[in-house]
Structure 1
Amino acid sequence: MASNKGGIAQLAPVNTDNVHQRVYMQMRQAIMSGKFRPGETLTLRPLAAALGTSVIPARDAVLRLVTERALENHRRSVRVPLLALEELRDVERYRILLESEAAALAAARASDDDLLAIEQASARAEKAYRSNKIERFLVANQEFHFAVYAAAHSDLLQSIIEKLWLQVGPHLGALVDSMRESDLSEIVDLAHHQELVRALKARDADGARAALAADLEDSTDVYRPYRDGDVAVHG
């Protein structure tokens, strides 16, 4: 598996229609999905070049992401925040509270199309898991979670959850670097995904809440190498 070359190298040129929004959304998704690493520095000209735009849309996107705390000002550039251990624990705590509530709402509100999208995302995550494709699994896992949160049909709740993922995404990326020779089955248990899908289909809000909370509680163990200082960050 190729080593991480930095988040900018993984961006793609954007369509020029509504370019400011497209630049912002691509950068936002890249941070959430772990393409950038904690402490990684971004400068505008390389960023704009990677996105195929002028500096202005890149600068506007960076400013928006700074206000969302997804990036922070650092000297004469910006960087992905380096969270202290207690800050990361706070993110984990509020993820469990809010994302499990979204799962409970999804049990009550999900349409048949929502449930199909959730099952399909779960299948993609399981396929990546079975083939031990770590980066592919992280993408599919995010798609699964957000299919569940979309099924809650609460724009406000989903927007808050997205902001928490902006905080935790780079830490997942840092973990990818430390897990390239690992077996996913040693650190991830898909049983909670399966329990969550069953609860959603049964319209069992309490069961969905419990399954999602258990999934997140287990997944926070995966962050421990980063939290305890065993995973390198980009300074």
Structure 2
Amino acid sequence: MAMPRSPAFLAATTCGSRERCGNDPRGLARLRSLVITVTTSRERAVGMASNKGGIAQLAPVNTDNVHQRVYMQMRQAIMSGKFRPGETLTLRPLAAALGTSVIPARDAVLRLVTERALENHRRSVRVPLLALEELRDVERYRILLESEAAALAAARASDDDLLAIEQASARAEKAYRSNKIERFLVANQEFHFAVYAAAHSDLLQSIIEKLWLQVGPHLGALVDSMRESDLSEIVDLAHHQELVRALKARDADGARAALAADLEDSTDVYRPYRDGDVAVHG
């Protein structure tokens, strides 16, 4: 699906420089009005930054290599479900939450739009609303690629890799036992990516990350529907345990099967909900 670039975030390319449009009052006014389409009131910006959306869960970044750090934190926030499907992002509250200027935030947003993690919507950007069939496609490809990564990890994992996997598994189990749903989702992601890192395939991991960028917000929506639930009734950690055993035994087929079973079971847990006519689930 084509992702048209929003003038709201590409205004700098409209004039290119002050020299090119500085002598054109209309061009200069246009440049100023299109640079960012966000709330100009400081009070409203602070209010939006303090809401309960994904922006409120971001933390200020270290100013070293700030553009990359802003991008990585936003990327991680999307993958771990801190943003919800359809949630709109505006630049000033986003930059304020990250403790940076608007420019690094804008650049990160543009990168995430090209990765389909965000999409242009009117004069702003939002987290995509995926149709039910699109989500099913994502889950289908996740099973194919992530189970292959698990098989590669069984053959390639170092002792340090296996230790990191076991530690991530223990964190997920701790969150599970204490029924901390949001903490469990984060720990679950850490466990999965510890396995994928052990495959030592940068290409495969980058593809898997792009799929998680698609499904992450729907995992966040899942949290909203599970707040009163008991994790033990809807999540079974047996597949994690089987996967760890297979990896330690260097059993590629067993690792592949355990990972595929874990993902297949997780799709049964996802509870669809609707936003208008758009079916969304995690």
- In 1, the alpha carbon distance for the partners of 2:206 and 2:249 equals 26
Runs of 5+ consecutive residues of structure 1 not aligned to the other structure: none
- In 1, the alpha carbon distance for the partners of 2:237 and 2:90 equals 38
Change (3 A) 1:187 1:2: farther
Runs of 5+ consecutive residues of structure 2 not aligned to the other structure: 1-47
- Structural mapping, 1:67-82, within 5 Å: 67-82=114-129
Instruction: Give the secondary-structure state (helix, strand or coil) at the position aligned to 2:62.
Output: coil
- In 2, the alpha carbon distance for the partners of 1:233 and 1:202 equals 38
Change (3 A) 1:213 1:136: same
Change (3 A) 1:233 1:44: farther
Change (3 A) 1:31 1:46: same
Residue 186 of structure 1 and its aligned partner are, at CA, apart by 1.1
Instruction: Give the secondary-structure state (helix, strand or coil) at the position aligned to 2:125.
Output: strand
Q: CA RMSD in A?
A: 2.9
Change (3 A) 1:234 1:191: closer
- In 2, the alpha carbon distance for the partners of 1:7 and 1:23 equals 14
User: Which residue of structure 2 lines up, in the alignment, with residue 229 of structure 1?
Assistant: 276
> Among 87, 90, 96, which residue is 2:143 paired with?
96
Residue 232 of structure 1 and its aligned partner are, at CA, apart by 10
- Structural mapping, 1:58-137, within 5 Å: 58-137=105-184
Change (3 A) 1:96 1:2: farther
Change (3 A) 1:5 1:228: closer
Change (3 A) 1:144 1:3: farther
Deviations 1:122-173 (A, max 9, x none): 0010011011110010010000000000000000000000000000000000
Residue pair 1:34, 1:172 contacting (<8 A) in 2 also: yes
Residue 181 of structure 1 and its aligned partner are, at CA, apart by 0.6
Change (3 A) 1:227 1:215: farther
Scaled by the length of structure 2, what TM-score is found?
Answer: 0.79
Change (3 A) 1:231 1:171: farther
Residue 223 of structure 1 and its aligned partner are, at CA, apart by 1.9
Deviations 1:65-109 (A, max 9, x none): 000000000011000000001000000000000000000000000
Alignment of 1:218 onto 2:265: yes
Deviations 1:25-66 (A, max 9, x none): 000000000000000000111111111111100000000000
Change (3 A) 1:128 1:15: same
Report the more deviating stretch, 225-234 or 102-111.
225-234
Asked which structure has the greater CA Rg, the reply is 2
Instruction: Give the secondary-structure state (helix, strand or coil) at the position aligned to 2:120.
Output: strand
Residue pair 2:49, 2:56 contacting (<8 A) in 1 also: no
Change (3 A) 1:88 1:57: same
- In 2, the alpha carbon distance for the partners of 1:38 and 1:3 equals 19
**Aligned residue pair count:** 235
User: Which residue of structure 1 lines up, in the alignment, with residue 22 of structure 2?
Assistant: none
Residue pair 1:20, 1:61 contacting (<8 A) in 2 also: yes
Scaled by the length of structure 1, what TM-score is found?
Answer: 0.95
Residue pair 1:41, 1:78 contacting (<8 A) in 2 also: yes
- In 2, the alpha carbon distance for the partners of 1:228 and 1:212 equals 31
Instruction: Give the secondary-structure state (helix, strand or coil) at the position aligned to 1:227.
Output: strand
Instruction: Give the secondary-structure state (helix, strand or coil) at the position aligned to 2:273.
Output: helix
